[in-house]
Structure 1
Amino acid sequence: MKYLILVVDGAADYKIESLGNKTPLEVANLTNINSIAAVGEVGLVQTIPEGIAPGSDAANLAIMGFDPRVYLTGRAPLEAASMGIEMSDSDVAFRCNVVTLAGAGAYEELEMVDHSAGDISTEEARELIRAIDAHFDKAKFYPGVSYRHCMIVDKGDDKTVLTPPHDILTKVIGEYLPANKEIREMMKESYELLSAHSVNIARVEKGLNPANSIWIWGQGKKPQLASFYEKYGVKGVTISAVDLIKGIGVCAGLEAIDVVGATGTLHTNYVGKALAAIRAFEDGNDFVYLHVEGPDECSHQGDLDGKIKSLEEIDAKILKPILDYFLASGEDYRVLVLPDHETPVSMRTHASGAVPYVLYDSTAKKETDNAKVFTEAEATKSGRFFENGYQLADYFFAVK
């Protein structure tokens, strides 16, 4: 039996007036996802437990079968694991975005314009993070992918309240700055340093958003996850452009596969991700956790057309070739397709509501219902609901 979990990050949304009071999932052309929905199972799953912020860390832990209330220590240490950063028990990891701030006056009076600095290239961001690392001696900075980076502090403050930058888009940052004076001053000082950096001067000249400040958040200590093989008896891999996802997998003993051209944006290498999944199965792996960030990033940018396009690209360029491979191989297989959390375009950030899922088992009895599709409304109507998200993985791997 082969197993595929395809995570369409942030795909779940609210009804949108300009779409005829429909959601992006309802208007997107999802021929392949809906074909397995018609003969599979559609339902709802609560990936974000009550009282926990609707982050990708909690949601993807749940989808992989780990109760976030037990295993969540913060997203940054999971990202650090993906980046190969060795953490001591006293280390605290922090996510470090490079962001775009705008406005006049004091740092506290600036506005959060872009949490990703215009999806800055990894090469440009690496130069900026190296400059930051050379400037500050109380922390160690590690460059990641695009705007996503990591800061490690020995005996750091893992209790202070830190706000994700994508939660405060268009807002003045003053009231969201951390109470921790050292972190706050580092962020403030970074603005002076990065604003004058040659990378940002060149970006401004090209009309691009400058990555003119670091934004620190998502802190936590070294996580301890159970082995995925011991938990479910499958050997597997993760495929994602996002260090957080790869880090969860690494901590659970899954191999992280990098795909050239995988960006974590709308413009990613969809075909390359599908081919990587197929090769992983051909190489003897039982399980692929394939995560695609595009719908989430488009939602953060308020790009409705981009969100719909990314959903259609995932359906046609990722799921279809993998389904074709399964059919040609003659092997039994199960496929689970779902968002990790809601990211409504109207909010431009994550929300905590339950999300729809589609589960298809090639060995199960088929009762075709072409009206059954992968949408929020259809999932709600089904009456199937996993109140604890981590139990869906138990069901997925155990169902006969």
Structure 2
Amino acid sequence: MIISSAEIDSAVVALAPVMRRTPVVASRVLSEQLSADVWLKCENLQRTGSFKPRGAYLRISRLDDEQRSRGVVAASAGNHAQGVAWSATQLGIASRVYMPVGASIPKISATRSYGAEVILQGETVDEALTAAHAHAEESGAVLIHPFDHPDIVAGQATVGTEIIEQVPDVDAIVVPLGGGGLLAGIAAAAAVHRPDTRVIGVQAAGAAAWPGSLQAGEPTPVGTMDTMADGIAVARPGAVPFAHVSELVDDVVTVSEEAISTALLLMVERAKLVVEPAGAAAVAAVMSGQVDVSGRVCVVLSGGNIDPLLLTHVTTHGLSAAGRYLTVTATISDSPGGLMEFLALLRDLGASVVDVTHSRVAGSLRLGEVQVTVSAETRGPDHQSEVREALAQAGFLRS
């Protein structure tokens, strides 16, 4: 099932007129932190905001006239949905997309705006995919699988060919990993054009089907999934990607939710790039030490389609994980000046108060006491420890 050099070259030619050649930019902040030469492949700047149109367009463009007349159907949490909708519209083909009921509202709206009929069904992408399969069987529409087809892998391989052209002496490529289409394609391109380059896949620890599958020697479903990175939350790897990953990929690692949110925050704050949690997974891996980053490393930012409300939540989560956002619950005197004394101490400690909530009815309070919960910006873990210690010494924190 391994795609050939000729298939990759054909995909490059087919996609050149319609896909953006996304930039590869040097990351000074990551290079300094990791003592390596780190580059970012910005697929968040691709059409529809992710790498997905590459494979979707190639797959749909190769349908014959009779297949095109029946339309296409797909299932996705958002990025593949948008890729299929945009591609089908560009090619003049009707499209229907099944999305989980909890899919991001902006992704649903964007998919509709690209021309697809959107049906919300199932709690997960896998359940939506079951519905898409059923519709394909009933209607004759062609199922455009998000990752498990050679054309999809060949389309995603064009990301790899671009990286090798843009960073010709790249030592390692680190790639977010869900169903495996992107990782498989990049690994296939690297095997053809630069076989010495290491290729590493990165999964969210809360949705990590690949480690167990690789150990078992076949695609094996994971029992439960719990991650903010919905774009890579896939319960079972595809057979076509599995053939590529098991043969061509050097390693697969997992990252925590805290690592993902910290990476996303760094991209927004220092790289000035908006990425979604799945798109930040590879950055999380290099930042958290899960990947050896010696030499020249290219990190793929696979997508940037993030709900603004989720961005706010993840940014706060990232600040907390980085030691820059502290929430403490303190007990203060319910007398004039009690709250002012507490806030003055935080001010003197250099903590910037974000919000304050205050309760006189908490069960552990004595008469004349008030419970206060304060969120404050801090400068890092050491500063947080200093603030907590000072509050405890002043009698505001109870053990």
TM-score calculated relative to the size of structure 1: 0.28
| Structure with greater proportional helix content | 2
Between 1 and 2, higher relative CO (CA 8 Å, sep ≥ 6) is seen in: 1
Bigger CA radius of gyration: 2
TM-score calculated relative to the size of structure 2: 0.28
